[in-house]
Amino acid sequence: MLLIKQDLLAGLAHALDALDAGAGARAAFETPKVAAHGDFAVTAAMQLAKPLKLNPRQVAETLKAALLAQPIYQQWVADIDIAGPGFINIRLKPEAKQQIVREVLGAGPCFGEQPANGQRLMVEFVSANPTGPLHVGHGRQAALGDALCNLYSTQGWSVHREFYYNDAGVQIGTLATSTQLRAKGFKPGDAEWPEAAYNGDYIHDIAKDFLAKKTVQADDRSFTASGDVNDIDGMRQFAVAYLRHEQDLDLQAFAVKFDHYYLESSLYTSGRVEATVNKLVANGKTYEQDGALWLKSTDYGDDKDRVMRKGDGSYTYFVPDVAYHIAKWERGFSKVINIQGTDHHGTIARVRAGLQAADVGIPQGYPDYVLHTMVRVVKGGEEVKISKRAGSYVTLRDLIEWTSKDAVRFFLLSRKPDTEYTFDVDLAVQKNNDNPVYYVQYAHARICSVLASWGGERKRLAAVDLGLLQSPAAQTLMLKLAQYPAMLTAAAQDFAPHDVTFYLRELAAAYHSYYDAERILVDDEALKLARLALVAATAQVLHNGLAVLGVSAPEKM
C-alpha cells in the first residue's frame, strides 16, 4: 500500500500541475477527521481557488475528473467524493489496503525504516553533573533522548549518543567539601554544616567508602580512595567516580547506553574555550565594559548582550557551551539535538549567537533543543516528595523498582516534553486497559497467543491470499498499519516520541476491535490464513513501535 500511496500522490501532483504550474510540489494526502469520509483527504482545491479565480468546489470537480481519468486511480480507488466547500475524500479499494500486510511481513523489523542518508546526528541527553543520583527528571530526559535516537535511526541517520557533564567547578567543589565534612563526622544540622552542602544520605555512603579506601569503577573513569580525610582532591575525584558509577547503575536499569562521555574540563585543558574566545574577539563580536568581556549577542536576536568573561577572569557558563558545540560541528555532526530542562531556555539564544559570531560555517538554528518539564510522582493518591536514597527527590531507580522499566519509559514518553506530567505509580502497575503500556503490550501478547495456538510457520503467511480481508474492522486495521512509516517520519521531524505512544494505543485499539469482531482461527483454511497474516503484521508493527520507545514486546502476559 505504501507504494500505491506514492503512485497515487504522484498522480495527484500531475493533476495539480495541469491546473496550475508548480502546484504539484504541494501535493499531499491528509487523514480525514472522520474515518467514514474516506481513506485520504485532499484540500488542494481550496488552496488553488484564489489563484485560479474559481469557486473551490469547481476546482474540486475538475481535479476529481482528472484523477479518475488516470489508470492508477482506476486501479486502486473505489470512489472520490467532494464535501463541504471543496474537500476531496478518496476511498481506496480493499485490495489496495491489503497490500500493507504483505509489505509489513516482508520488511519485518525494518518496516517503517528509511534508507541511510549519510548524515550524522548527535543527541546530547541526561548530562547530569555527578553531584547526586539521577532523579525522575533525568529519567524523563533519558527516555526522550533514547527514543529520539531510535526515531532518527529509523529515518536513516547515523546516530551518536553523548553524555556531557561538569567534572569541575563550584558544584563539584561543594560535593568534595560535603563528603569531607561527613568523613570528619559532621552531619546536616550540625553547626559546622554549611547551608550550601549536599544533605543526602548518599554523601555519608561516599565518605564511608572513601575512608575504607575502596575502588569505584564507572563507564568513563576509575578511582581508588586514599582514605586520608585531608585529601580533598582525592575525595573530589572519588566522589565524582562514585556518583558516575551510581548514575551508570540508573542508566543500566533503564537500558540506556551512551557512545561517549564528554567532560567540560576537557574544553579548558584542550584549549578549546580559549580558542573560541579568541575567535570571537578577532571577529569583532565582543567588547569590554565594566571590567568584563561581552558578546554582542543582540546582533543575533538575543534580548541583550551577554557577559563572557567576568571581572575575576572566569568565564560564564555559556562560553564552554559554545566551544563544545563548535567541537560537535567539527566532529562531523550536521545535526545536533540537546535534551534539557526548561530552566535552560535562556541559554538557547546566547549559545546560537556565539556559534554564529564564531563564523565557522555552522548554520543558523544549530543546535536544536528539546526542553522538558519536571515530573510529579503520585503514589497511593499522594505526591511523593522525599526519597530515602536522594534525600530530596524520587530517583530513577526508585521509579523503576516501584513499577518497571517499560512502564517508566512509556509513561514518561506519553506527553509532549514541555507539558507538566504526573506519574501515577498505582496506575503503572495495574494490569488492565486503563494502563496504556499494559494495553499495548497485551495486544502484542494476545496476537502471539493466537499465532501459538495456530502453530504454523509465520513465513507461510507472507504469500497467502489476502483478498478475503474485506470486513470494515479488517480495513480499519490495515489502514492503521499503513500510517506507521509516515507517523515515524513526522515524529522525528517534530521531536515528538509521544506521537509513537499515541499511535501504538490507536493500533492496539484497532486490533482489539478486530479481535472482538472476527474470529481468527476459523475452519475455512484460506480465511484463517488471511486473518493470521493480518494479525501477524499487526504484531510486527506493535513490536517495531515499542522498540522505538525502548519498551519490550512480551509474547506472554
Cell of 89: 475524500
Region of residue 495 (left: phi > 0; alpha: psi -120 to 50; beta: else)? left
CA distances from 345 to 276, 281, 319, 368, 371 (A): 22, 26, 16, 12, 7
Burial of 266: CB neighbours in 10 Å, binned 0-12, 13-18, 19+: middle
| CATH 3.30.1360.70, the chain: domain bounds | 2-92
48-59 confidence digits (pLDDT tens): 988 888 899 999
CA distances from 502 to 204, 423, 540 (A): 44, 17, 17
3-state secondary structure of 110: helix
Which residue in 153, 254, 138, 259 sits closest to 551, CA to CA? 254
Q: Looking at 217-344, list the stretches that DSSP marks H as alpha helix, in order from N- to C-terminal side.
A: 232-253, 264-269, 272-282, 318-330
**Residue 387, pLDDT score:** 52
Mean of all residue pLDDT scores within the chain: 94
3-state secondary structure of 493: helix
161-215 confidence digits (pLDDT tens): 999 988 877 889 999 999 999 999 999 999 999 998 998 889 999 999 999 999 9
CA distance 370 to 518: 43
Which residue in 105, 75, 104 sits closest to 92, CA to CA? 75
User: Could you list the pLDDT tens digit for every one of the 557 residues in the chain?
Assistant: 778 898 999 999 999 999 999 999 989 999 888 878 888 999 999 999 888 888 999 999 999 999 999 999 999 999 999 998 999 999 999 899 999 999 999 999 999 999 999 999 999 999 998 888 888 989 999 999 999 999 999 999 999 999 998 887 788 999 999 999 999 999 999 999 999 899 888 999 999 999 999 999 998 889 999 999 999 999 999 999 999 999 999 999 999 999 999 999 999 999 999 999 999 999 999 999 999 999 999 999 999 999 999 999 999 989 999 999 999 999 999 999 999 999 889 899 999 999 999 999 999 999 999 999 989 999 999 998 755 444 557 889 989 999 999 999 999 999 999 999 999 999 999 999 999 999 999 999 999 999 999 999 988 999 999 999 999 999 999 999 999 999 999 999 999 999 999 999 999 999 999 999 999 999 999 999 999 999 999 999 999 999 999 999 999 99
Cell of 390: 536522594
For 433-549, CATH number out of 1.20.1050.140, 1.20.1740.10, 3.40.109.10, 1.10.730.10 equals: 1.10.730.10
CA distance 280 to 296: 10
CA distance 467 to 101: 11
Residue 371: how many CB atoms within 10 A of its CB? 15
455 contact partners, CB below 8 Å, separation of at least 6: none
CB 147 within 8 A of CB 550: yes
Element (H, E) at 57: helix 56-68
Fold for the domain defined by 2-92: Gyrase A; domain 2 (3.30.1360)
Q: Looking at 169-231, list the stretches that DSSP marks H as alpha helix, in order from N- to C-terminal side.
A: 169-183, 201-211
Rg (CA), the chain: 29
Omega before residue 554 within 30° of 0, cis: no
pTM: predicted TM-score of the whole model, two decimal places: 0.89
CA distance 546 to 213: 44
CA distance 167 to 94: 61
Residue for cell digits 481519468?
69
CA distances from 485 to 3, 55, 469, 482 (A): 12, 35, 22, 7
CB 447 within 8 A of CB 536: yes
| CATH 1.10.730.10, the chain: domain bounds | 433-549
**Residue 389, pLDDT score:** 45
